[in-house]
Amino acid sequence: MNPAAKITAFTAALAASFGAAYGIGAAVGPGAGSAEPAESTAHAESAGPGAGDSPAGGLQITEGGYTLDLRPPRLEAAQPGELRFTIRDRAGRQVTAFQREHDKELHLILASRDMATYRHLHPTRADDGTWSTPVKLPAAGDYRVFADFTPAGENAADLTLGADLAVSGPYKAAEPPKPSRTASVDGYTVSLNGTLRPEAPEHITFSVRKDGRPVTDLQPYLGAYGHLVALRAGDLAYLHVHPDGEPGDGSTKPGPEVSFTATAPSPATYRLFLDFKHDGTVRTAAFTVPSGEATTPHPTAPSAEPEDGHGDGPSDRDEDGGHGH
Ligand SMILES: [Cu+2]
């Protein structure tokens, strides 16, 4: 598969820039495909060190021994179509055992590369592990498909695999979305408070109003009052975002505010998609925000003048390090 090989090589370079060396470790690690149990206990069978630590996902078609196999990886614009795919393990077998996360075994996110179109779908899994969902996309262009799931197994970590999807038809590149902290959808106005920061978890809060009045009777959707996906402009890195609290926990109110904890993998612009449910309908509000400054300085690379010893402690310098990545 030549295109797949190209994508893998490309994303491997990106992954390296995140310091996500676990992908390589897992790929060449011992025991892959081994039928014989190790002499020691099962801890050697973990899904790979740090497999859940990276804040950015979706840049690779293969990660942690699992592969997203999208077929065919193309659709026609403005036509009802069907997306089919499988998740394969190291041995190439179709995976049929998943853990439920937010009420579903697998969340499928589609986004156009220009970040104008977004879909959050829940495909159906056949017994043999083939997933499928009807889909109709409005415009031609390059899309990214994200499969967000956790394989069965005690040590399995949440994974997001990403694959390219081509949608054919007349194409005109869209303007990138302008920065916006307020979104309107079907008479609802949603405002965003808070700032994503590189490598530091931050709370971000959305406030939902309808016809100017706060909405206080949001309905649970996927085990929360909102479901948030954040994508990085430039490469559509997929951020894991976790809701703060859940319906019925005694402290989480059904609006007007819905809050999340998210970490930006790098300084960049992010597109945020909030799904929320009210009056029986799920709607999506989209925002575009630049990330803020890092709150904790990076370990700074040693400069030209040699320092003795401690190059990796937190720096107290108050100017931003000008080092590039
Ligand atoms: Cu979902």
301-313 tens-digit pLDDT: 444 444 444 434 4
Among 206, 192, 201, 232, smallest CA distance to 294 is for 201
Roughly how many angstroms between the first and final C-alpha of the chain, as a whole number?
Answer: 31
For position 221, what pLDDT does the model report?
92
For position 175, what pLDDT does the model report?
86
CA 216 to chain centre: 28
Claim: this prediction has a pTM higher than 0.85: no
Asked whether the beta carbons of 113 and 81 are under 8 A apart, the reply is no
Give the confidence band of 321 by pLDDT, cuts at 50, 70, 90.
Answer: very low
For position 43, what pLDDT does the model report?
37
CA of 293 to the centre of ligand 1 (A): 30
pLDDT at 46 over 70: no
pLDDT at 253 over 90: yes
Give the confidence band of 55 by pLDDT, cuts at 50, 70, 90.
Answer: low
Asked whether the beta carbons of 81 and 134 are under 8 A apart, the reply is yes
For position 308, what pLDDT does the model report?
44
CA of 134 to the centre of ligand 1 (A): 15
Q: What's the chain's average pLDDT? A: 80
CA of 42 to the centre of ligand 1 (A): 31
pLDDT at 182 over 60: yes
CA of 39 to the centre of ligand 1 (A): 39
Say which residue, 252 or 243, is predicted with more confidence.
Answer: 252
Q: 228: which residues sit within 8 A by CB, 6+ positions away?
A: 206, 241, 243, 260, 262, 272, 273, 274, 275
Give the confidence band of 241 by pLDDT, cuts at 50, 70, 90.
Answer: confident
pLDDT at 171 over 80: yes
pLDDT at 206 over 90: yes
pLDDT at 210 over 90: yes
Helix residue spans in the chain (DSSP H): 2-17, 22-28
CA of 238 to the centre of ligand 1 (A): 14
Among 191, 107, 121, smallest CA distance to 149 is for 107
Distance CA 255, CA 189 (A): 13
**How many residues are given for the chain?**
325
For position 220, what pLDDT does the model report?
94
Where is average pLDDT lowest: 30-34, 59-63, 105-109, 230-234?
Answer: 30-34
Task: State the DSSP code for 37.
Answer: P
Distance CA 72, CA 1 (A): 13
- Mean of pLDDT values over 214-234: 94
- Mean of pLDDT values over 168-189: 93
Q: 261-275: string of b/e by CB count within 10 Å (b at 16+)?
A: ebbbbbeebbbbbbb
Say which residue, 259 or 324, is predicted with more confidence.
Answer: 259
Say which residue, 72 or 85, is predicted with more confidence.
Answer: 85
- Mean of pLDDT values over 217-231: 94
114: tokens are 């220009």
For position 309, what pLDDT does the model report?
42
- Mean of pLDDT values over 165-181: 92
Give the confidence band of 197 by pLDDT, cuts at 50, 70, 90.
Answer: very high
Q: 320: which residues sit within 8 A by CB, 6+ positions away?
A: 293
Asked whether the beta carbons of 289 and 196 are under 8 A apart, the reply is yes
CA of 122 to the centre of ligand 1 (A): 6
pLDDT at 314 over 90: no
CA of 222 to the centre of ligand 1 (A): 7
